[in-house]
């Protein structure tokens, strides 16, 4: 009889726990990037003017256009960020199936046109337990974004579920 798998925690996970990836730097954020993002996430409603009308945005406390908090300046990379790839195997075998369990985003300085955002990621923690899917691993990664003025923009905690 085959023995049940004891753990889904890999040596690569143990080795990389808490170790920040190298930094990635976004292309400069453009007004057009922000406008398109806002249209997409509000579709079919017209998005708030704060995201596309500079004249209006200047009258707000922000002093100009800002991006929605969920805006991703790292979309459309020339080369994809593969920092987490060794930790998230894909396929159909035990422990290779996965899903997005959820996330916590904490927001600080807003993103604005012209900003250049830097990012780093690390495997923060994990736990595993028996669920209806069998042995299941809950991995938590942490990503920080900051702008060209070294202001923290966002902290993102992602829960990857593997089973």
Partner 1 sequence: MAVNVYFEDINVGDRIPAWSRKTDFMNWNRYAAVNDEFIYIHMDDEAGRAAANPQGAFGMGNLRFAYILNALRDWLGDETEIRELFCEFRAINQKNDVLTVIGTVTGKSVEEGENRVYLDVDVVNQTGAKTCPGKAIVVLPRRG
Report DSSP state, residue 131.
Answer: E
Q: Report the residue number, 40 or 116, with the smaller CB distance to partner 1.
A: 40
Q: How far apart are CA 36 and CA 21, in angstroms?
A: 29
Q: 54 and 65 in contact (C-beta within 8 Å)?
A: yes
Positions touching partner 1 (CB under 8 A) are 33, 36-37, 39-44, 48, 50, 59-62, 68-70, 72, 75-77, 99-107, 159
Smallest separation, CB 74 to partner 1 (Å): 9
Rounded (5°) CA angle 123-129-134: 115
Q: How far apart are CA 143 and CA 158, in angstroms?
A: 8
Based on C-alpha coordinates, what's the Rg of the chain? 19
Q: Report the residue number, 6 or 76, with the smaller CB distance to partner 1.
A: 76
Q: Report the residue number, 17 or 49, with the smaller CB distance to partner 1.
A: 49
Smallest separation, CB 15 to partner 1 (Å): 28
Smallest separation, CB 14 to partner 1 (Å): 26
């Amino acid at each position: 009889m085959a023995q049940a798998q004891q753990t889904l925690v890999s040596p690569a996970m143990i080795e990389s726990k808490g170790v920040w990836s190298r930094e990635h730097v976004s292309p400069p954020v453009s007004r057009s990037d922000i406008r398109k993002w806002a249209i997409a996430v509000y579709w079919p409603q017209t998005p708030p003017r704060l995201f596309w009308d500079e004249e209006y945005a200047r009258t707000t406390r922000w002093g100009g256009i800002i991006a929605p908090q969920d805006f991703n300046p790292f979309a459309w990379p020339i080369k994809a960020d593969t920092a987490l790839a060794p930790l998230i195997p894909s396929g159909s075998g035990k422990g290779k199936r996965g899903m997005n369990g959820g996330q916590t985003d904490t927001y600080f300085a807003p993103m604005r046109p012209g900003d250049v955002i830097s990012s780093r990621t690390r495997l923060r923690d994990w736990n595993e337990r028996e669920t209806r899917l069998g042995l299941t691993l809950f991995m938590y990664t942490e990503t920080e974004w900051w702008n060209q003025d070294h202001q923290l923009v966002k902290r993102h905690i992602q829960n990857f579920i593997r089973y």
